[in-house]
Chains A and B, each alone.
Chain A
Amino acid sequence: MKFHWFAEVTYPHLPADFPQKHKSAWVDPPVSLMDPTKVGEMYRMFLRLMEQADREGFDGLAVNEHHQTAFAMSPSPNLLAASLAGTTENAAILVIGDSIALYNPPTRVAEEMAYLDCLSGGRLIAGFVFGTPMDSVFSYGTPPVELRERFHEARNLILRSWQEQEPFAHNGKYNKLRYVNVWPRPVQQPRPPVWVPGSGSIETWDLVIDENYCYGHLSFSGLGSAKPLVDGFWEYVDKRGGDMNPNRMAFTQICCVAETEEQAEKDYAEAVRYFYTHNPTSPAYVQPPGYHTQATLQAQMARGGGRLTNEDRMKAARGELSFWEYDEKGFIIAGTPKRVRERIRELATSLRVGQLIPTLHMGNLPEETAAKNTELFGREVIPYLRDLWADQPDHWTPQVSQQRVAANAPTPAGVGR
């Protein structure tokens, strides 16, 4: 299986009483709490960590898009990706993804993604997202009932603009362009791999099945919470005769690797707590009318919350779980490399996940700890899990990154099951 280094670009200097004093880290958190100089230092740290991950043999470097939040200060993933495309050699540049409903014209995304693919020598993964309600409908003001239509118009326009050899006219509902003729074009032909993450919407499942995209379940609640939803996804793929290849499924997981379990708790407990407690979202911003369709809301009601209770989620958000309770309930996977790889194998097997997005920096973790996490994960975890799903072709990561990562893979003695 494959591993894509990831971190939310979380502002690490919020005061300890932030969760008590403020209802939301999204949409309207007070900017007076943020120091732009420290933000700059933080961006440089994330670039250093991802450059390290490239050297440590990770398959991809994942960057995402969020707006008006202390939780993830990455307003355009293309910006971080542009730095990485120029300074890394092997890993895929996993843009997961651009909120394409928000760009007018969406050809801006087609151009920027093409730029990234050119600069990285064909290592781009093109992720298209709807964006959270807080991002797309509150911060960027899109009427929720229009979001899906805008997304699909943008997606079709971007894909066509990468393929057409002659200028063409696009007379869409939301975008009118008389002369579409994107320069540059992606290196990868006919197009870079496309990933579309979702939160369980049936319509998104249909899309990824119809187009054979990679689907992503991006949550920070772990196996227990995701199990019913991801099982539901695979049942649906099977029922519709889609591709059951595990490599078309991506999953995020916070991982905390250390020399011993005691050391893991010492290294990561505070940062994990910061990550979960300093991310309140006002209930007003979570489920605006029209963001999910009626079919999806009905399915959500029927499905329930999985093995994780609402009380568990509340406790996690209030910091009322111990470090090892976060681990036990699946929010994080922590411990020695051996323990971490065993639990990842269990997770990946149970969920049929071929693309893991390990989150190796979280909250206010110091850079040196994140660097150690990256090193241990790259050397002591990844090589031991390469056998999983190795018999299945991977159409969802770039050929160039597959070849270069394999050519540079560490071959420690005794690697195996």
Chain B
Amino acid sequence: MTLRTDVSGGFSVRVWTAGSGSPLLYLHGLEGHPGDAPFLKRLAERHRVFAPELPGYGESSGFELIDGILGMALHHRQLVTSWGVGALDVIGHSLGGMLAAEFAAINPQLTRRLVLVDAYGLWMDDPQVPDPFVLNETELKAKKWAHPEAAGIEPSIFVADPANPGAAALQRSKNLSVATKFMWPIPDRGLRGRLGYVEAPTLVVHGTEDRLMPVAYADEFARLIPDAKVARIDDAGHLPMVECEDAFMEAVEGFLAG
């Protein structure tokens, strides 16, 4: 696997790549890129995985060129086109799920199968999505994980530097500031009206214990996307691919092989 930097149209983004086989785009979630995550490596056993960092996150730049959700979808189209791999499978988690759904709606010709994992992008008055930006560390842990003690195993692309103890907080603030463009004050940028344009067969994966993004939203995504089914991952929170890796892999690979 390699971590390279792709430059296109004013953007410079880090792309984690590994594996061979059918191409797969993975878009990371609200908090940041998972780096060398075990679940990404397992996906790379059967796929050629491309996991770009979102512009503005970590060390990737070009966020100022993004004018809203359409700009993000077009940025990802440009990236995918530059790889020359044709249509691919698309997996998006959390904020990345919202962006993956937009990508699939706008670029049906590039989307083979779509997997949304605990995705943002919809709003219901009941149950409402909690505001992720007001949570302190303890509250976030409690909402994010089925078992908060699992928090220690979360993979990240960020490498701590003992000489710069403030770097982690700065990095986190930078990442989340980009997310506010799409998720503040309500994580709804009109996706509901565009899900009908998704042509790819879709799997909506959701941790049953996700208290950041209530599981009822999985059913709502599945209702709005023409060809979609739901895979609930029991005993998992907002990151089922971390907390219940085997169940996640089984559901996703089963679907992608279908």
Of residues 173 through 202 on chain B, the ones whose CB sits less than 8 Å from some CB of chain A are 173-181, 184-186
CB <8 Å contact, A141 and B185 = yes
Q: Mark A292-312, 1 if CB is under 8 A from B, else 0.
A: 101001100100000000000
Q: Mark A263-297, 1 if CB is under 8 A from B, else 0.
A: 00000000000000000001111011110101001
Q: Which residue of A lies closest to B186 (CB)?
A: A141
Within the complex, what minimum Cβ distance (angstroms) separates B64 from chain A?
A: 9
Q: Is B161 an interface residue (CB 8 A)?
A: no
Q: Is B166 an interface residue (CB 8 A)?
A: yes
Within the complex, what minimum Cβ distance (angstroms) separates B59 from chain A?
A: 12
Given contact pairs A173-B67, A289-B176, A289-B177, A137 touches B184 in the complex (Cβ within 8 A) = yes
Q: Which residue of B lies closest to A147 (CB)?
A: B180
CB <8 Å contact, A143 and B185 = yes
Q: Which residues of A contact B134 (CB under 8 A)?
A: 282, 284-285, 288
CB <8 Å contact, A289 and B133 = yes
Given contact pairs A284-B136, A289-B179, A294 touches B184 in the complex (Cβ within 8 A) = no
Given contact pairs A141-B185, A144-B184, A284-B136, A301 touches B177 in the complex (Cβ within 8 A) = no
Determine which of A141, A142, A145, A284 lies in contact with B178 in the assembled complex, contact meaning CB atoms within 8 Å: A145
CB <8 Å contact, A290 and B177 = yes
Q: Which residues of B contact A146 (CB under 8 A)?
A: 180-181
CB <8 Å contact, A290 and B173 = yes
Q: Which residues of B contact A173 (CB under 8 A)?
A: 67
* A: contact size bracket: 20 to 34
Q: How far is the CA of A298 from the CA of B67 in the complex (A)?
A: 27
CB <8 Å contact, A143 and B170 = no
Q: Which residues of B contact A287 (CB under 8 A)?
A: 173
Q: Which residue of A lies closest to B183 (CB)?
A: A143
Determine which of B67, B135, B180 lies in contact with A145 in the assembled complex, contact meaning CB atoms within 8 Å: B180
Of residues 10 through 68 on chain B, the ones whose CB sits less than 8 Å from some CB of chain A are 67
Determine which of A142, A145, A297 lies in contact with B170 in the assembled complex, contact meaning CB atoms within 8 Å: A297
CB <8 Å contact, B184 and A141 = yes
Within the complex, what minimum Cβ distance (angstroms) separates A105 from chain B?
A: 19
Determine which of A138, A144, A283, A284 lies in contact with B177 in the assembled complex, contact meaning CB atoms within 8 Å: A144
Q: Which residue of B lies closest to A27 (CB)?
A: B134
Q: Which residues of B contact A144 (CB under 8 A)?
A: 177, 180, 184
Within the complex, what minimum Cβ distance (angstroms) separates A31 from chain B?
A: 20
CB <8 Å contact, B173 and A143 = no
Q: Which residue of B lies closest to A173 (CB)?
A: B67
Given contact pairs A297-B170, A297-B173, A143 touches B180 in the complex (Cβ within 8 A) = yes
Q: How far is the CA of A138 from the CA of B186 in the complex (A)?
A: 11
What is the interface size of chain B, counting residues whose CB is below 8 A from a CB of the partner?
20
Q: Which residues of B contact A137 (CB under 8 A)?
A: 184-185
Q: How far is the CA of A145 from the CA of B183 in the complex (A)?
A: 11
Q: How far is the CA of A181 from the CA of B48 in the complex (A)?
A: 58
Within the complex, what minimum Cβ distance (angstroms) separates B189 from chain A?
A: 11
Determine which of A143, A283, A284 lies in contact with B184 in the assembled complex, contact meaning CB atoms within 8 Å: A143
Q: How far is the CA of A301 from the CA of B173 in the complex (A)?
A: 13
Within the complex, what minimum Cβ distance (angstroms) separates A223 from chain B?
A: 27
Within the complex, what minimum Cβ distance (angstroms) separates B60 from chain A?
A: 14
Q: How far is the CA of A290 from the CA of B178 in the complex (A)?
A: 7
Q: How far is the CA of A297 from the CA of B168 in the complex (A)?
A: 12
Q: Which residue of B lies closest to A290 (CB)?
A: B177
Given contact pairs A141-B185, A173-B67, A283 touches B180 in the complex (Cβ within 8 A) = no
CB <8 Å contact, B170 and A298 = yes
Q: How far is the CA of A279 from the CA of B222 in the complex (A)?
A: 45
CB <8 Å contact, B135 and A289 = no
Of residues 141 through 192 on chain B, the ones whose CB sits less than 8 Å from some CB of chain A are 166, 170, 172-181, 184-186
Q: Which residues of B contact A283 (CB under 8 A)?
A: 136
Q: Which residues of A contact B175 (CB under 8 A)?
A: 289
Q: How far is the CA of A138 from the CA of B184 in the complex (A)?
A: 9
Q: How far is the CA of A290 from the CA of B182 in the complex (A)?
A: 13
Q: Which residues of B contact A141 (CB under 8 A)?
A: 184-186
Within the complex, what minimum Cβ distance (angstroms) separates B123 from chain A?
A: 13
Q: Give the residue among B135, B136, B180, B185 with the most A Cβ atoms within 10 A.
A: B180
Q: Which residues of A contact B179 (CB under 8 A)?
A: 289
Q: Which residue of B lies closest to A282 (CB)?
A: B134
Of residues 113 through 168 on chain A, the ones whose CB sits less than 8 Å from some CB of chain B are 137-138, 141-146
Determine which of B133, B136, B174 lies in contact with A288 in the assembled complex, contact meaning CB atoms within 8 Å: B133
CB <8 Å contact, B181 and A143 = yes
Q: How far is the CA of A141 from the CA of B175 in the complex (A)?
A: 19
Q: Which residues of A contact B181 (CB under 8 A)?
A: 143, 145-146
Q: Which residues of A contact B178 (CB under 8 A)?
A: 145, 290
CB <8 Å contact, B177 and A145 = yes
Q: How far is the CA of A189 from the CA of B129 in the complex (A)?
A: 50
CB <8 Å contact, A289 and B180 = yes
Within the complex, what minimum Cβ distance (angstroms) separates A282 from chain B?
A: 8
- Enumerate chain B interface residues (CB-CB to A < 8 A): 67, 133-136, 166, 170, 172-181, 184-186
Task: Provide a sorted-by-A list of 16 A–B residue pairs whose CB atoms are within 8 angstroms.
Answer: A137-B184, A145-B177, A145-B184, A284-B134, A284-B135, A288-B133, A288-B180, A289-B172, A289-B174, A289-B176, A289-B180, A290-B173, A290-B176, A290-B180, A294-B173, A297-B173
Q: A143-B184, A290-B176 are in contact. List 20 more A-B contacts (CB 8 A).
A: A137-B184, A141-B186, A143-B180, A143-B181, A143-B185, A145-B178, A145-B181, A145-B184, A146-B181, A283-B136, A288-B134, A289-B173, A289-B177, A289-B179, A289-B180, A290-B173, A290-B177, A290-B180, A294-B170, A297-B173
